[in-house]
């Protein structure tokens, strides 16, 4: 677990584009070793080991055990970086982030606002939300490792919200078709609704078969996803079928 603080980025002759875009700092592959990632980041950010925290370690151990059991698969343990300012989050994502954004994953690592500043620097006012967010991001590590992608985006975010117990209310379940590969206002709500329904109605075994069918070869499109979904569930993932399902 690492603390990060800002150091003025310097242009790197091989990795930084001519614009000096901060996002170039994280052009690393999932196969890159932890030491390589940290060494690379230190050119742009101050990175130091965080103090040992028994609560943190216990939570991570329990979360890893739970997610490994759910996915029936293990993943390389992610590096976790605790960010001390909104500016650091902006630098890592290469853009100005909204106040509700408190973390994310890149290159098999988790970046999240430090619990000491989590409620101060975000729209989240419940300190317990930090732990749900951390679990949410850890779920993304598993999803991306297994599927080699993030689409359908509603499934990616819906599953993470479901496993992190971040319950959502969905007013328009059929809005899910807006979020195959694009974010939007109802993404998390629609995603949570359908993940919850698929698991509760048809069971975890079928759901895991769906997850493991998502590797984007050939390039995963909505039609290919619908065909793979149909092989597992016996009906297409389209508006007609889903409308009947929720009546």
pLDDT of residue 119: 95
- How remote is the C-alpha of 146 from its chain's centroid? 13
Quick one: tokens of 123? 């729209």
Judge whether 80 and 110 are in contact, CB under 8 Å.
yes
Nearest to 180 by CA among 237, 129, 243: 237
Burial 35-44 (b: 16+ CB within 10 A, else e): eebbebbeeb
Long-range pairs of 211-215 with CB within 8 A, sequence gap ≥ 24:
211/71, 211/143, 211/146, 211/147, 211/155, 211/159, 212/146, 212/147, 214/146, 214/147, 214/149, 214/151, 214/152, 214/155, 215/147, 215/148, 215/149
Judge whether 154 and 180 are in contact, CB under 8 Å.
yes
pTM beyond cutoff 0.85: no
Quick one: tokens of 192? 């949570």
- The Cα 73–Cα 63 span in angstroms is 13
pLDDT in tens, 38-51: 555 555 555 556 66
Q: Mean pLDDT for each 10-residue chunk of the chain (247 residues)?
A: 45 33 32 52 58 85 97 93 88 88 91 93 93 97 95 98 96 96 95 98 97 86 94 95 92
- How remote is the C-alpha of 137 from its chain's centroid? 4
pLDDT of residue 6: 41
The SS3 of residue 112 is strand
Residue 164's CB: how many other CB atoms inside 10 A? 19
């Amino acid at each position: 677990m690492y603390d990060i603080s800002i150091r003025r980025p310097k242009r790197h002759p091989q990795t930084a584009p001519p614009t000096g875009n901060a996002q170039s700092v994280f052009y690393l592959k999932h196969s890159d070793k932890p030491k390589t990632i940290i060494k690379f980041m230190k050119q742009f950010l101050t990175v130091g080991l965080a103090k040992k925290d028994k609560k943190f370690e216990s939570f991570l151990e329990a979360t890893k055990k739970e997610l490994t059991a759910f996915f029936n698969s293990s993943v390389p343990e992610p590096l976790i970086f605790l960010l001390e300012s909104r500016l650091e989050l902006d630098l890592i994502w290469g853009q100005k982030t909204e106040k509700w954004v408190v973390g994310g994953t890149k290159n098999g690592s988790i970046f999240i606002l430090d619990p000491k500043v989590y409620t101060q620097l975000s729209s989240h006012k419940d300190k317990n939300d930090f732990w749900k967010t951390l679990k949410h991001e850890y779920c993304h590590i598993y999803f991306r490792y297994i599927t080699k992608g993030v689409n359908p985006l509603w499934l990616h975010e819906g599953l993470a919200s479901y496993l992190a117990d971040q319950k959502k209310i969905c007013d328009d379940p059929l809005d899910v078709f807006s979020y195959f590969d694009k974010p939007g206002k109802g993404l998390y709500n629609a995603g949570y609704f359908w993940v919850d329904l698929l698991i509760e109605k048809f069971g975890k075994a079928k759901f895991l078969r769906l997850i493991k069918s998502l590797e984007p070869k050939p390039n995963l499109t909505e039609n290919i996803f619908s065909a793979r979904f149909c092989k597992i569930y016996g009906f297409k993932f389209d508006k007609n079928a889903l409308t009947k399902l929720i009546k």
